Amino acid sequence: MSKVTSNRAGKPATDKAAEATSDERAQQIAHALAYPFAQPGASFVFAGGRAFEIVELPEGDFARARVRAGGETVGFDDLCRAEALAPPTPLVERIPVIAHGSNAAPGRLVEKFGGVAEAQVIPVLRARLEDFDVVYAPHFSAYGSIPATLEHSPGTRVEISVTYLTPDQVCAMDATEIRAVGPTYARGNLRAIRCHLDGQGVLSEAQVYLAKRGSLQFDGVPRAFAALGAQGRRFGARSQPDKQARARDALAPEMKLDAFIHENIHDEARRKRRNEALREWAVEFSYGDFEIVEG
């Protein structure tokens, strides 16, 4: 119970330390429910810990790119000089990695790269991936969300992004996607695809992080992310709060949803047990042309 004192008006005043704890709890739950987090609606370059919309990117060459900064359109090389950043190598010299969840969110990139985020330059291109959809994975993340994975969905064209990473950036991403969270994701090559990039042609192959246990299927079918747009969607879409409530109903129906999410954030042992329990509703990835590289 919160400590209560009297203020000069004679009304009870809640202990500020307890208030701060309550606020922090609410923020953590809201963060979990906000996945896949705020993402720009256009291609951007993550540079100096910020996102700059890409206005022009001739043939994937950042030496000739123009971006929007402070309401003005400027050359990206000029911006790099002003920010003391090394301009990125052309796209063809980088590794395309599909970002179907939070990896296309600037705020999440800041969290993933931590103290070196301001030194990173990462092109993030909007794209549409044919014959797949973004669905819920069968595990809870350390920050409480039910994260994303891909599932084969002939006839669907889902809106995603593609991050273009250096080998060092891929290693850093592996640390957050594979090594830090246990045996949940694997990185591999997704082949024989059609991924339409904004202004940069079509990819027939890209790397991607996929849930090793496949998709979460409480009702025998995957559920797509309502927060991500798609054409020709075959799977019913659900919001993060809806999916969390369904998971709570399956695993701890007596609990309030915010308490359930809070436990998953702060009780690692219980989160792991719940992740193991979700195996009952996990169905393997159904697309054959995926080769694991790491994880």
**Domain locations in the chain?**
36-294
CA-CA distance, 129 to 196, in Å (whole number)? 6
> What is this structure's pTM?
0.91
pLDDT at 2: 34
Buried b (16+ CB within 10 A) or exposed e, 87-112: bbbbbeebebbbbbbbbbbbebbbeb
Tokens of 264: 């998953």
**Alpha-carbon dihedral sign for residues 285, 222, 112, 275:** negative
Of the CA atoms within 13 Å of residue 79, those in its CB half-sphere come to 26
SS3 188: strand
User: Domain 36-294, what architecture?
Assistant: Roll (3.10)
Of the CA atoms within 13 Å of residue 25, those in its CB half-sphere come to 15
Give me the tens of pLDDT residue by residue for the chain, a chain 295 residues long.
333 333 333 334 444 444 558 899 999 999 999 999 999 999 999 999 999 999 999 999 988 999 999 899 999 999 999 888 887 789 999 999 999 999 999 999 999 998 898 889 999 999 999 999 999 999 999 999 999 999 999 999 999 999 999 999 999 999 999 987 667 899 999 999 999 999 999 999 999 999 999 999 999 999 999 999 999 999 999 999 999 999 999 999 999 999 999 999 999 999 999 999 999 999 999 999 999 999 9
